[in-house]
Each structure stands twice: as structure tokens, then as C-alpha cells.
Amino acid sequence: MAHLTLQSLVKRFGAVIAVDRVSLEVGSGELLCLLGPSGCGKTTLLRMVAGFLRPDEGAIAINGAPVTEVPPEKRPTAMVFQNYALWPHKTVANTVAFGLRVRRLPPVRIRSKVAEMLDLLGLTGLEDRYPRELSGGQQQRVALARALAVEPAILLLDEPLANLDAQLRVHMRAELRQLQRKLGTTMLYVTHDQEEALSLSDRVAVLQQGRLEQVGTPEEIYRRPATSFVAGFIGHSNLIAGTVAQCEGGRLSVRIRGGFTLEVGSADLIPVGSAVTVAIRAEDACLARQETMNVLPGTIQLSAFLGATRRLTVASPAGLLRVDCPADLGVREGSAVEIHLPIDRLHLLPGNTGPAPEDGQTL
């Protein structure tokens, strides 16, 4: 068990800044997910922690001891690669034993440790199989067993479930979580799957274009996104651009397009005229009954049945808004509706450079 400190890490590839001044603490025994869209620098960050890439700036410390200059073979980290990186000519048992043989453990200890790991990951009986004789899920577990066998201080996982089918992914996600609880290993887990990140982690770090957007518990990230990027990336948020028209007593009036005004609760005093973004999740918006405040008129463009709910895409003065309503609600595409954006569900974000509501938000 160990804690990891990243201090203002920078990594450039030519003109591309893959990781831009990322500072992060991963506590002992914590599972932290690095979440972000493709190409945001997750793998680059992970490979710097493993030692395969040298940061251009910044420092990495494990348990307070600097490791920036330590080569990967000497770091107390172990990595689970996205493609598993199993060795085609080694059997399951030999694969799991590899790191232990490198550490010159006595053969008896190696045998018992291998048996223990295989048991832990439900691989008993597959000792003599080669990778090509294993299913995707089994290969994934062998990669995990190989890394865990050496009892790393920090386990690094690069989208370990990305190559599995949806059902197995959910199953392995739960298994991983249990395993992590049981072993208490500090884990840095890379994923671009928000559901995975939210359900798995103690904390989530959202990365975009190499920069850390927000670090927090899954609830914080979901309920109180710090930036419009996080609000847009996690869940299905509507982002409405506007300017502050009035600010008093913990409540803001935000003028949006079409001459409408939204009332938003806010503890902060924000100067009148500031550019802001109002965010609301699709599941928090609803069709208006007799409310008068924060009601926008609109036309239903699309009504998509999602099983538990029905998602409406509504053309409003504020742009296209996504609104979830009960699945059995009888609504027709093209009909006029009024949308209610409850004041306690509206979330204020600084600036309105985020994607304008009409851009690419259909479902």
C-alpha cells in the first residue's frame, strides 16, 4: 500500500501537449479513475507513472520518495495493459510466476503464490493454457494476476475492460472493485467509460486535453461538475449559455437567448453582466404542469424510448434541450410543450465558452 503524488507533470510530443501541468494525490488504498475522452492524455499520464515515459517537467513520488528518475523495472508499480500484453509462448502459470522468478523467490514460495493468485482470480485449472487458448475475460484476469502477484505498491490499469463485451465488462467491474477492497492496493485506473469510472472509484479525476478538469468523488463529479466540460462529459447535461442579469440574496437571474430568464440558486455573488452557463441534466428537467418560473416553451423534435424512460429532444429558445419523462407518457413528435427547469436542479458554471446548446446535442 502506498500513496502516489504527481506534481505538475508535463509531457509534450512535438507540438502536442499530451499532459499539461497535472498535479494529483492518490491516497493509500484508494482507487482513483482517470476519466476523459480519447486522446486526452490518460495513457501518457499512466505511462509516466509506470516509468515508460519521462515527464518533461514535474515530479512523481511514491510514499513521498521521488521516483521520476527510477526506471520502470525498479518502480514498485505494476501495470495491466489495455491489450493485456500476455506472452504467447508462456502458460498461465509461467506468466503469473514471471515477476516472482525475477524477484528470486524460492520455488516453493512461487508455487504457492501462483496458486493463490489463480485462486483469487478464478483461474484455477487453467495453469497450463497458453493465452490463445483463453477467452478475453480469462486473458484479462491473467494479466491482472500477473501484475498482482508481485504485490505492487501501486497498480496501474489502462482501460483493462475496454476489450470485453458489455456484459462481461460489468461483471469484471464488480469483481475488480471487490478485489481492490480485499487487497487494499492503491490503484490508478484509466477509462473513458464514465459509468465505469463512477461505479468503480473512490475518486474520479476528469482529464481533458491533458489538463485536469476536476477531481472528486463520483457524487461530486456528477452532482457538482466544476466546469462545463465535466457537466457535458458526465451524464447527459443541457448547457445553456447566458449572462447574469440580477444577483441578490443567493439567487441569480440569468438572461438567455430569446429574452427568457432563468432563476438559479447561487451562494456566490457574481457581478451582473458576467457570462455564465446554466447546466441541467436531462433527468432533472421535466415537462411543466402549472409552474410559472423557469419554464421554456418548445417543440418536441424527437421522442426516444429508452426502456425505463423516454428522452425528448425539444427545440426551445435556449436551443435543443434533452428532457427525460416517464416512458409511458403519451407525447407526439412535433407537438408544443412547456419545459420546467427546477431551480434546485440548475447548476451554475463559470463562463459560457462551453458547447452552445444547439451544437451536437440531439439525444
Partner 1 sequence: MSANIAGVAAPLDPMTRSNVRRSRPGWPEVGRTFAVAAVGAFVFVPLAILGLYSLSDQWNAPHLLPTAYTIKWYDYLFHYEGGLSGVVQSTLVAAATTVFTMLVGLPAAYALARYRFRGRRVLEMALLAKTAIPVILVGVGTASLFYIWGLHDTFVGLVAAHSVGALPLQVWTAAAAFQRVDVSGEEAARDLGASFIRRFVEIVLPGALPGIIASAILVFLFSMDEFTVTFFVSGVAYTTMPLRLYSALNSGYIEPAAASAMILLMPSVLYLGLVLRYFGSSELRGGLGNLG
Q: Which of 33, 43, 294, 324 binds ligand ATP (CB under 6 A)?
A: 43
Q: Which of 14, 38, 64, 73 binds partner 1 (CB under 8 A)?
A: 73
Under 8 Å between Cβ of 189 and 32: yes
Among Mg ion, ligand ATP, partner 1, none, residue 13 binds (CB under 5-8 Å by kind): ligand ATP
The Cα–Cα gap between 36 and 176 comes to 20
Q: Which of 4, 6, 9, 18 binds ligand ATP (CB under 6 A)?
A: 18
Instruction: Give yes or no for residue 40 binding ligand ATP (CB under 6 A).
Output: yes
CB of 161 to Mg ion, least distance (A): 13
Instruction: Give yes or no for residue 192 binding ligand ATP (CB under 6 A).
Output: yes
Which CB atom, from 15 or from 166, has the smaller least distance to ligand ATP?
A: 15
Which CB atom, from 54 or from 251, has the smaller least distance to ligand ATP?
A: 54
Instruction: Give yes or no for residue 361 binding Mg ion (CB under 5 A).
Output: no
Instruction: Give yes or no for residue 330 binding partner 1 (CB under 8 A).
Output: no
Residue range at the interface with ligand ATP (CB under 6 A); choices 39-47, 147-155, 285-293, 316-324: 39-47
Q: Which of 43, 44, 77, 139 binds partner 1 (CB under 8 A)?
A: 77
CB of 85 to partner 1, least distance (A): 4
The Cα–Cα gap between 8 and 65 comes to 16
Residue range at the interface with partner 1 (CB under 8 A); choices 85-93, 121-129, 209-217, 323-331: 85-93
Under 8 Å between Cβ of 350 and 243: no
Residue range at the interface with Mg ion (CB under 5 A); choices 37-45, 121-129, 248-256, 318-326: 37-45
The Cα–Cα gap between 174 and 1 comes to 21
C-alpha radius of gyration, the chain, whole number = 24
Q: Count interface residues toward partner 1 (CB under 8 A).
A: 23
CB of 47 to partner 1, least distance (A): 9
The Cα–Cα gap between 60 and 70 comes to 10
The CA distances from residue 152 to 4, 44, 93, 330, 352, in Å, are 12, 20, 19, 56, 44
Find the binding residues for partner 1 in span 38-57 (CB under 8 A). 50, 52
The Cα–Cα gap between 265 and 100 comes to 58
The Cα–Cα gap between 303 and 112 comes to 58
Which CB atom, from 205 or from 325, has the smaller least distance to ligand ATP?
A: 205
Question: Pick from 191, 164, 188: which is nearest to 37 by CA?
Answer: 191
Q: Which of 74, 132, 289, 332 binds partner 1 (CB under 8 A)?
A: 74
Q: Which of 83, 124, 135, 335 binds partner 1 (CB under 8 A)?
A: 83
Which CB atom, from 83 or from 178, has the smaller least distance to partner 1?
A: 83
The Cα–Cα gap between 36 and 50 comes to 19
The Cα–Cα gap between 249 and 194 comes to 36
Residue 266 CB neighbours (<10 A):
16
CB of 43 to Mg ion, least distance (A): 3
The Cα–Cα gap between 93 and 119 comes to 12
Distance in Å from the first CA to the final CA of the chain: 43
The Cα–Cα gap between 99 and 96 comes to 7
Name the phi and psi angles at 29, rounded to 5. 75, 10
The Cα–Cα gap between 246 and 335 comes to 33
Per CB under 6 A, residues contacting ligand ATP are: 13, 16, 18, 36, 38-44, 192
Per CB under 8 A, residues contacting partner 1 are: 50, 52, 72-74, 77-79, 81, 83, 85-89, 98-99, 102-103, 143, 146-147, 150
Per CB under 5 A, residues contacting Mg ion are: 43
